[in-house]
Amino acid sequence: MSKGKLRTIKKRIESTNSTMQITRAMEMVARAKINKVQKGLKFVRLYEKAMARALTRAYFGDTNHPKTGGQGDILLVVSSDMGLAGAFNAEIMKAAEREVEKSDIVHIVTVGIKAESYFKKSGLPITAFSHFYDTPDLDEAAIIVDDIVDVMEDKNASGLKMVFSLFKNPLAQMPKIVRLLPVEDLEKPDNDLFDFEPEIEVLYKDVLNSWLVAKVLQGLYETKVGELFSRQTAMKNATENAKSMIEQLTLVRNKLRQSNITQEIIEVVNGAEALNG
């Protein structure tokens, strides 16, 4: 019976050790990617601010996109393609679901397999981008914005909102919902002092598109950095848990071995006594 238990414990130790090697490797991969993506996020935040300033300069009184109409909002939900990141994606989905419940959402655009899988069951029409961004870039953001603009025109939508994970620090990532269209908090500058080529309406449309791309790109970067830090933390915790389990199983195995040895000694002694008796 004890030998059977020993074999079972040995298999559990081997299995847990294999799992620990995988989680440790995933932690290292996440850590290796973080530095590059964090640098990209810093640049993109500055780029978005520059585009926001340009948008303010080109503003002429209409904050919406020429393709928008008057029926509900498009919701852009940015998630990850991979799991194994703790509650990271679940928190984004909760925030997005609350927004769907309280707002008039006519179409959902998802980035990442997790959001696509979640909202396929919502009954709302969706446009999905998956296996799309490992390291976000401007071209990918532009493709997303182009598709969103087409959907807005097709649905006669009145606006656009984005749900993503705002990165604050390695231990704090929080879901955030921002309205992208109509653009909020713009003050009309005194553009009467300037002559614009092309006309201000045309310029505003071009700058608005560029700002939308910058804003979506920022959402991709914020979410990617948060995902990597969450995965690093989750895999580190999983590695520590596996290590602790191996230590406990090893202790049980050693006790069983000691018990087996003791039992064998007792049997030898009893056998010797029986022979002598």
Residue 60: inside a domain:
yes
Residue 135: inside a domain:
yes
Residue 267: inside a domain:
no
**Are the beta carbons of 162 and 180 closer than 8 angstroms?**
yes
Q: Per residue in 77-100, pLDDT tens?
A: 999 999 999 999 999 999 999 999
Residue 30: inside a domain:
yes
Residue 272: inside a domain:
no
* Tokens matching residue 22: 């995988």
Q: Provide the domain count of the chain.
A: 1
Q: Which CATH number fits the domain that encloses residue 132?
A: 3.40.1380.10
Quote the distance between the C-alpha of residue 191 and its chain's center. 41
Q: Per residue in 111-144, pLDDT tens?
A: 999 999 999 988 899 999 988 667 899 999 999 9
Residue 211: inside a domain:
yes
Is the backbone of residue 124 left (phi > 0), alpha (psi -120 to 50) or beta?
A: beta
Q: Per residue in 163-222, pLDDT tens?
A: 999 999 988 889 999 999 998 766 555 544 445 455 656 777 888 999 999 999 999 999
